[in-house]
Amino acid sequence: MKNILLSISLSAIIISGFSQGSFQILNDHGGDLTGALYTFSGQNAPTDPFFKHDVDIVVKNTTGAAIDAKVKRIELSELSGTFNYFCFGVCYGQMAAGANYIFPAPSDPESLDYVSVAGGATSTVNTYLVPNAAVGTTKFRYVVYDGANPSDSAYVDIEFDITPASSVDERTNLNVSLFPNPCDDRAILTLDGDFSGNDLEVNLVDILGKKHL
């Protein structure tokens, strides 16, 4: 009898250890980003303080019941000179890099904010970075959790890779073509122009800001 009870107890522990949480984090196309790193590449904007990059993530309630979902942002690495903020039900104000490691903190009144997500439904989190003149990388972890059970959570890491804004020399006759466009996995990039005396760097970025080259 003792052996049977022990087996049942161990089975319960194993099942519990592999149980999934109530949330899944997706990209705009439904791809699973839960627990993953998503890298966004974009340029800075030294002369435009209103310019911003945005990455949207979709929170899905995988259960059959409504959940009061909350989101917090953890700054894993900072990039001096930038500002960041996010929207989930409400848009929060801009925060300077390094000013708030965790937002909202448990003591912040914003920690009471939540969005009720019906069973099987989704809600979008809009994340933003204002690069200003900064160049480099910064990384954030966005955690969605059940307001009634904070340990029931999921996260995604978003890294912004900011490069200097490119300038165009109007004196250079440069023609660029990409064929086919759009493409699946292969394309031909043709550059035609006078590159003498100039360093050339080519970056291929899709409409979501993901770097492919």
Domain assignment of residue 181, yes or no: no
- SS3 state at 19: coil
Domain assignment of residue 14, yes or no: no
- C-beta separation of 77 from 60 below 8 A: no
Report whether pLDDT(177) > 50: yes
In angstroms, what CA-CA distances link 125 with 69, 82, 150, 165, 205? 11, 20, 18, 27, 22
Tens digit of pLDDT for each residue in 77-102?
Answer: 999 999 999 999 999 999 999 999 99
- Candidates 159, 145, 174; CA nearest to 41 is 159
Range of the domain at 58: 22-163
Tens digit of pLDDT for each residue in 37-93?
Answer: 999 999 999 999 999 999 999 999 999 999 999 999 999 999 999 999 999 999 999
Domain assignment of residue 30, yes or no: yes
Domain assignment of residue 5, yes or no: no
Q: Average pLDDT of the chain?
A: 85
- C-beta separation of 68 from 150 below 8 A: no
Domain assignment of residue 196, yes or no: no
Domain assignment of residue 200, yes or no: no
In angstroms, what CA-CA distances link 205 with 41, 54, 191, 211? 8, 15, 16, 4
Task: Count up the domains in the chain and report the number.
Answer: 1
Domain assignment of residue 205, yes or no: no
Domain assignment of residue 33, yes or no: yes
Report H helices in 82-156: none
User: Would you place residue 168 in the very low, low, confident or very high pLDDT band (cuts 50, 70, 90)?
Assistant: low
CATH number of the structural domain spanning residue 129: 2.60.40.10
